[in-house]
Amino acid sequence: MASGPEGDPELERQRAGIEAAFRERWLPPDADQPRVLTVPAWAEARKIIERGGGTSLDPATLQAVRDGAQPGDSLPPRQPAHYTGHVTDAEVIITGSGPGRLVAVVFSHQHFPGIRFGHRFHPSWGSREYFSLMEDIETGGLHRMMETGPSADAAGIIWTAWGARTPGLQQQRAEIAAAFREGWRPAGAGQPRVLTEHAYAQARNVLGRGGWTGLDPATIQAVRDGAQPGDPLPPLQPDPFIDRVADAEVTITGSGPGRRVAVLFTHRDFPGVRFGHRFPLDPHAEGREQIWLKEEIETGALHRMMNSRTAPDDAGITWTTWGSPGPD
């Protein structure tokens, strides 16, 4: 995971500065300043007090709401120790090799026992990026990220979604594979839920008059079958990354300068056909290649391509005509 020194004084200066910041802790900009309880903080605190769970709120805010504080009431000033109080066991390292060497921090968080997080810093920011990381964590960045069920890497580390990306085909392959594997996860996926009054009324309206709704099909079907407010509903499930696409296998294909990340997949509208798509080798795309593929397929690109009777290769793969070109 970590590489040895390779004579880069700028990276070493960044690493030393960030390590010192973790050791000394960050003085919040509003430390010792008056502050008041906001409506969103009050609502989140009430939810945590009643139902439990993780939160980025500081203990003083939770205790104030527990003691009866209302929006607009004064709160104790922030203390310097709190800003990194939930982050523990931080180890600042230099990871990667060659042009992909980056300063990173591996750490734990008290709200996620047993999980080891990692964050890769952007080299151009120097040690100042420590402050951005702490602000992201303090304002709930980890909690929002964990709602999507991210996967750990081979070393068991879950890397922040907003950290620097490491260049190279393996990083690209991992990101594209994660998109196909995890799909689109709604907040609360897999958790118990009940039919609310509002959802019931909206479902009845759609069933009676038709029209668009943001309700999931399981809620509509439950109301169609006679469910009433308060009845349990099936947990929300992730949606496929690309509609009607299944059996995706993300791999690296080709050799030499022609090596590319590719995905092999099937599509429900073309039984028996195995498609392939080679992703462009674009270091500036920042993970958007898979989104472009999704947009192409869901707007009919495969259907237009198949109208021209595109032939499969010797391995039986029908490659998309808009992907990165294959070997000569």
**Proportion of the chain above pLDDT 70, given as a percent:** 90
Does 163 or 277 have the greater pLDDT score? 277
Strands 260-267, 274-278: pairing is: antiparallel
Question: Given the structure tokens 């109301």, which residue do they identify?
Answer: 223
User: Would you state the pLDDT for residue 3?
Assistant: 47
Give the separation between CA 242 and CA 325, rounded to whole angstroms.
22
User: Would you state the pLDDT for residue 123?
Assistant: 81
Of 14-28, 41-55, 277-291, least confident by mean pLDDT is 277-291
Instruction: Report phi then psi at 323, rounded to 5.
Output: -80, 180
> Half-sphere exposure (CA, 13 Å, Cβ side) for 278?
18
- Provide the phi-psi class of 168: left if phi over 0, else alpha when psi is between -120 and 50, else beta: left
Of 53-67, 102-116, 236-250, 287-301, least confident by mean pLDDT is 53-67
For the residues 50-63, what does the mean pLDDT come to?
A: 77
Contact assessment for residue 195 and residue 228, using Cβ atoms and an 8 Å cutoff: yes
Residue 82 has pLDDT above 80, yes or no: no
Instruction: Report phi then psi at 104, rounded to 5.
Output: -140, 160
Contact assessment for residue 7 and residue 35, using Cβ atoms and an 8 Å cutoff: no
User: Would you state the pLDDT for residue 85?
Assistant: 67
Residue 4 has pLDDT above 50, yes or no: no
Question: Which tokens sit at 107?
Answer: 């750490």
Contact assessment for residue 252 and residue 259, using Cβ atoms and an 8 Å cutoff: yes
Type of residue numbered 118: G
What distance, in Å, lies between the first and last C-alpha atoms of the chain? 35
Strands 193-194, 157-159: pairing is: unpaired
Instruction: Report phi then psi at 248, rounded to 5.
Output: -80, 135
The angle that helices 129-138 and 9-24 make with each other, rounded to 10 degrees, is 40
Q: What is the pLDDT of residues 111-147, one digit of tens each?
A: 899 999 999 998 876 667 887 888 788 777 888 888 7
Containing H/E element for 120? strand 116-120
The angle that helices 59-66 and 39-51 make with each other, rounded to 10 degrees, is 80
Does 204 or 78 have the greater pLDDT score? 204
> Half-sphere exposure (CA, 13 Å, Cβ side) for 239?
11
Residue 316's pLDDT band, with cuts at 50, 70 and 90, is very high
**Other Cβ atoms closer than 10 A to 201:** 12
pTM for the predicted model, two decimal places: 0.55
User: Would you state the pLDDT for residue 2?
Assistant: 47
